[in-house]
Amino acid sequence: MLTINLSNAKSFVSDEELASYLPKLEDADRKLREGSGKGSDFLGWLTLPEQYDREELTRIKAAAKKIQSDSKVLVVIGIGGSYLGARAVIEFLRSPQYNLLPKDTPEIYFAGNNLNADAANEIITLIGDRDFSVNVISKSGTTTEPAVLFRVFRELLVKRYGEKGAASRIYATTDKARGALKTLATAEGYESFVIPDNIGGRYSVLTAVGLLPIAVAGIDVDALMDGAHGAMEAFKEKGLDNPAWAYAACRNALLAKGKRIELLACYDPAFRFMAEWWKQLYGESEGKDGTGIFPASVDLTADLHSMGQYIQDGARCLMETVVHIGRSNTRLRVPDDAQNLDGLNFLSGKDLLEVNEQAFRGTILAHVDGGVPNMVVNLEEKTEKALGEMIYFFEYACGLSGYVLGVNPFDQPGVEAYKKNMFALLGKPGYEDRARELAARL
């Protein structure tokens, strides 16, 4: 099971200070489990690993098999919580180069997470004349980016396969009853999957939102759910021996000492989109009411050669959380070189895992010496089960941490501001007054 090591934060936060968070953590845990806190309509993720819809998971697996058999490409259309989790899991467990590697599963491209014409046209070029399917994901069914891009890819499908053929290649993941996408899916007969009412976008990776694309990539979704279930049981323990409680306490204690930015770091480049997923989870959950830790991320060791200077020596507002993975799935030895012109023969015969491990250990100590407290989240291995544990760990710790901070960790009112301005500037009916006001300012 995942563990946390706070020994490299202890020179910044004492055991007594951490223990002082226990009453707030108990209160936060009670609010989550009793549904008595702010945003309590969105707590479905807490028991999801046990209470998910088994019949739907069977349909998800069947749909994934169909897509694998009739398509060379799957285009996944969604944004935010309807996008990041699936991409993160696929890149972490398969590879960031998944689409380039030899495999017997479809290539997977993500669209509708931006409004950039070049990005969309590139995906159309990559599909070429190959067979493809589309999984459109939107809880509200009205989000502009995925809705616009769905029009584009739906038109492409209809041109290639006709209305009926296109409908058999479109999979809609949306609300069970409401929204424009649900209405369209019902009218056109798309196979549909449900985003439960009580699970917000950023907590939805273990629903159909994430599971369909993840299953198409050939990942064992049962093992992922089992891992999350194990964590759900393990993290019921109360107290600072619970890694989620310890993490929530430590990051809040560090925030109180002026560490306003948290860097999530990992020494595996396949983790990059897990960090993007984590940034949304924590940024959207905590960044409100004028407070919150700003979540950022670094890929190590790469970013030690770009961000390393700032981390070591810049403004002392940083804390760092390193996800440490105990094993790599493959091995690679450093070759010996008779000439030793690069002076690296002291590494000859060592596995890269060991070299990476020493980089990790040395960097932590350097950063602590530079004034950056470090928390280490230990993952035993890079497997579905371990990742399921980590997803649940970060979700549960986020709910706890948000309540400790005193915010509603389950809403995102700030996301609306840009949408209103964009609609006004694009001439959406009903936004005329705002359009005039903005025009005067531009």
Calpha distance 347→351 (Å, rounded):
9
419 annotated active-site: yes
> Is residue 189 exposed (0-12), middle (13-18) or buried (19+ Cβ within 10 Å)?
exposed
User: CB–CB of 107/99 below 8 Å?
Assistant: yes
Amino acid at 311: I
Give the one residue of 37, 39, 85, 146 binding ligand PA5; rule: CB under 6 A.
146
Q: What is the DSSP letter of 241?
A: T
**Residue 288 within binding range of ligand PA5, rule CB under 6 A:** no
Residue number with CB closer to ligand PA5 (140 or 168): 140
Contact range with ligand PA5 by CB under 6 A, out of 79-87, 95-103, 237-245, 339-347: 79-87
- Residue with token string 């709910």: 399
**Residue 202 within binding range of ligand PA5, rule CB under 6 A:** yes
Residue number with CB closer to ligand PA5 (142 or 306): 142
User: CB–CB of 334/393 below 8 Å?
Assistant: no
The distance of closest approach from Cβ of residue 135 to ligand PA5 in the complex, given in angstroms and rounded to an integer, is: 13
The distance of closest approach from Cβ of residue 415 to ligand PA5 in the complex, given in angstroms and rounded to an integer, is: 6
**Residue 113 within binding range of ligand PA5, rule CB under 6 A:** no
Helix, strand, coil shares of the chain, percent, nearest 5, are 55, 15, 35
Q: Where are the beta strands (DSSP E) in 237-364?
A: 261-266, 294-299, 318-325
* CA neighbor of 85 nearest in space, from 199, 249, 176: 199
Total residues at the site for ligand PA5 (CB under 6 A)? 14
* Cα torsion 327, 329, 333, 334: sign: negative
**Residue 207 within binding range of ligand PA5, rule CB under 6 A:** no
Amino acid at 234: A
Give the one residue of 3, 40, 140, 345 binding ligand PA5; rule: CB under 6 A.
140
Residue 316 is encoded by which pair of tokens? 């002392």
Active-site entry in 419, 420, 432, 437? 419
The distance of closest approach from Cβ of residue 21 to ligand PA5 in the complex, given in angstroms and rounded to an integer, is: 26
Residue 387 is encoded by which pair of tokens? 């990742």
Peptide bond into 383 cis (omega under 30): no
* CA neighbor of 131 nearest in space, from 209, 60, 216, 68: 68
Calpha distance 387→383 (Å, rounded):
6
Residue 331 is encoded by which pair of tokens? 């091995």
Contact range with ligand PA5 by CB under 6 A, out of 132-140, 245-253, 293-301, 337-345: 132-140
Contact range with ligand PA5 by CB under 6 A, out of 28-36, 134-142, 155-163, 417-425: 134-142
**Residue 363 within binding range of ligand PA5, rule CB under 6 A:** no
305 annotated active-site: yes
The distance of closest approach from Cβ of residue 180 to ligand PA5 in the complex, given in angstroms and rounded to an integer, is: 10
**Residue 408 within binding range of ligand PA5, rule CB under 6 A:** no
* CA neighbor of 32 nearest in space, from 405, 398, 413: 398
| Helix (DSSP H) and strand (DSSP E) numbers for the chain | 17, 10
The distance of closest approach from Cβ of residue 32 to ligand PA5 in the complex, given in angstroms and rounded to an integer, is: 18
Contact range with ligand PA5 by CB under 6 A, out of 2-10, 102-110, 140-148, 234-242: 140-148
Residue number with CB closer to ligand PA5 (17 or 411): 411
**Residue 200 within binding range of ligand PA5, rule CB under 6 A:** yes
User: CB–CB of 303/107 below 8 Å?
Assistant: no
**Residue 182 within binding range of ligand PA5, rule CB under 6 A:** no
**Residue 412 within binding range of ligand PA5, rule CB under 6 A:** yes
Give the one residue of 191, 276, 284, 395 binding ligand PA5; rule: CB under 6 A.
284
The distance of closest approach from Cβ of residue 94 to ligand PA5 in the complex, given in angstroms and rounded to an integer, is: 23
284 annotated active-site: yes
Binding residues for ligand PA5 restricted to 48-67, rule: CB under 6 A: none
The pairing of strands 132-138 and 3-5 is unpaired
Radius of gyration in angstroms for the set of CA atoms belonging to the chain, rounded to a whole number: 23
**Residue 276 within binding range of ligand PA5, rule CB under 6 A:** no
**Residue 81 within binding range of ligand PA5, rule CB under 6 A:** yes
Give the one residue of 8, 113, 135, 138 binding ligand PA5; rule: CB under 6 A.
138
Q: List contacts with ligand PA5 (CB under 6 A).
A: 79-82, 138-140, 143, 146, 200-202, 284, 412
Residues annotated as catalytic are 284, 305, 419
